[in-house]
Amino acid sequence: MKSQVKELPLPAFYRASHAGAYGYSPNAGVLQTEAMTWSAANGLSPAATDRFNLHLLLIDVQKDFCFPEGSLYVAGRSGQGAIDDSRRIAEFVYRNLGVLSNVTTTLDTHFAYQIFFPSFWVDENGQMLTPYREVTREQIERGQARPNPAVAKWLCGGNYPWLLKQVKYYCDELERAGKYTLYLWPPHCLLGSDGHALAGVVQEARLFHAFARGAQSWCEVKGGNPLTENYSVLRPEVLSRHDGQPLAQRNTQFLKTLLTADAVVIAGQAASHCVKSSIDDLLSEIVAQDAALARKVYLLTDCMSSVTVPDGKGGFAADFTPQAEAALQRFADAGMHLVKSTDPLANWTDLRIG
């Protein structure tokens, strides 16, 4: 049996061109008024009355990732990756607003000194390291990379030997898990910066959904711990310190929220990193509980792109597209559905809304 889902028209105020406008910011007050009128015209009911809980998870659709003006633009191989993704995400929300019960956006949230930023590290000459490079335990042992002594005072009471042990342990844990080697990114999504904000066209769509359906504009903040990466919204990369004390915690409450939804739709940035890690952690929990739950997860493959680093010669110094493609295949093999935002929900396999 297929779902009976009515697709809705795009609101009159929507402009697809705003997906490429870094400075675009919607007026929440105007949106609220528009949403009330549009909801009544389309006969929408409050999300709280939905018998089928369809939860849309949008990962890190923030300005630093979604625009060339951002510090870590996710261009994909096309060069237009995140811009096109944001447009398709917004249009997906509008067309399916009548059946989307909840929309949660994650916010990658960082400070000036974090273990994955160059500012956290210096070389053997005391010079700050450069972005787009790996840091390994071997490099630390050789003195080629070491924690910036300036951070020790506020981070660990000035105990530099403790900090040195911790970063070595951290690299060991990453390598033991086999997921990532510590990679240094340029500063991005700094709390208080313009780049931390959601792309305007996505912010507009999520607020319009909230006002039109009486649903909260949920957010999940991640990434503030200076001693661990936090690609996934569900857990940081490393949970413990070298001395056995806890370093960070899993996001068990949000995990429960996703697992109790009737269906979960996932999109965002970047397919090769934060999206991939979040789905990996969700799948691990699903496998531990009931592998059949994977069938209620839908991945919008045309609403996510991979990190690419141009080499200035028309090619890429780094291209993480193959890792993203391999992960998507693995998720599909586990039972998750690969879909496009333009595919009518009525045609989605295993979706039983109506």
- Rounded CA-CA distance 115/231 in Å is 13
pLDDT of amino acid 311 = 86
pLDDT in tens, 45-77: 999 999 999 999 999 999 999 999 999 999 999
Confidence band, pLDDT 50/70/90 cuts, at residue 4: low
Cα separation, 70 vs 62, in Å, equals 9
Residue 204: predicted pLDDT = 98
pTM equals 0.96
Whole-number Å distance between alpha carbons of 332 and 85: 20
pLDDT class for 178, splitting at 50, 70, 90? confident
Backbone phi, then psi, for 172, in 5-degree steps? -60, -45
CB-based contact 298:336 (threshold 8 Å): yes
Q: Between 121 and 5, where is the model more confident?
A: 121
Rounded to the nearest angstrom, the gap between the alpha carbon of residue 38 and the centroid of all alpha carbons in its chain is 29
Please give the pLDDT value at position 290: 97
Predicted confidence at residue 1, as pLDDT, reads 36
Q: Write out the two tokens for 326.
A: 């391999």
Q: Amino acid identity, residue 328?
A: L
pLDDT of residue 117: 98
Residues 244-260 have pLDDT tens digits of: 999 999 999 999 999 99
Three-state helix/strand/coil letters over the chain: CCCCCCCCCCCCCCCHHHHHCCCCCCCHHHHHHHHHHHHHHCCCCCHHHCCCCEEEEEECCEHHHHCCCCCCCCCCCCCCHHHHHHHHHHHHHHHCCCCCCEEEEEEECECCCCCCCHHHEECCCCCECCCCEECCHHHHHHCCCEECHHHHHHHHCCCHHHHHHHHHHHHHHHHHHCCCCCEECCCCCECCCHHHCECHHHHHHHHHHHHHHCCCCEEEEECCCCCCCCCCCCCCCCCECCCCCECCCCCHHHHHHHHHCCEEEEEECCCCCHHHHHHHHHHHHHHHHCHHHHHHEEEEHHHCCCCEEECCCCCEEEECHHHHHHHHHHHHHCCCEEECCCCCHHHCCCCCCC
Where do the domains of the chain lie?
Answer: 16-110+188-347, 118-184
User: CB burial class (10 A; 0-12, 13-18, 19+) of residue 123?
Assistant: middle
Averaged pLDDT, 116-125: 98
Q: How far is CA 11 from CA 87, 183, 326, in A?
A: 14, 42, 37
- Chain centre distance of CA 312: 27
The reported pLDDT for the residue numbered 82 is 98
User: How far is 99 from 7, CA to CA, in rounded Å?
Assistant: 9
Contact 180, 229 (CB under 8 A): yes
pLDDT of residue 120: 98
Please give the class, per CATH, of domain 16-110+188-347.
alpha beta
pLDDT digits (tens, 9 = 90+) for 12-57: 999 999 999 999 999 999 999 999 999 999 999 999 999 999 999 9
Is 2's pLDDT higher than 70?
no
Q: 136-167 pLDDT, tens per residue?
A: 999 999 999 999 999 999 999 999 999 999 99
Tokens 């045309």 belong to 302
**Which residue do the tokens 């995140």 mark?**
82
Region of residue 43 (phi > 0: left; psi between -120 and 50: alpha; otherwise: beta): left
Rounded to whole angstroms, how far apart are CA atoms 148 and 119? Answer: 7
The beta-carbon contacts of 239-244 under 8 Å, at least 24 apart in sequence, are 240/173, 241/166, 241/169, 242/165, 242/166, 242/168, 242/169, 242/170, 243/162
Does residue 337 surpass a pLDDT of 50? yes
Check pLDDT > 70 for residue 3.
no
Distance CA 129, CA 119 (A): 7
Determine the pLDDT at residue 73.
Answer: 97
pLDDT in tens, 211-221: 999 999 999 99
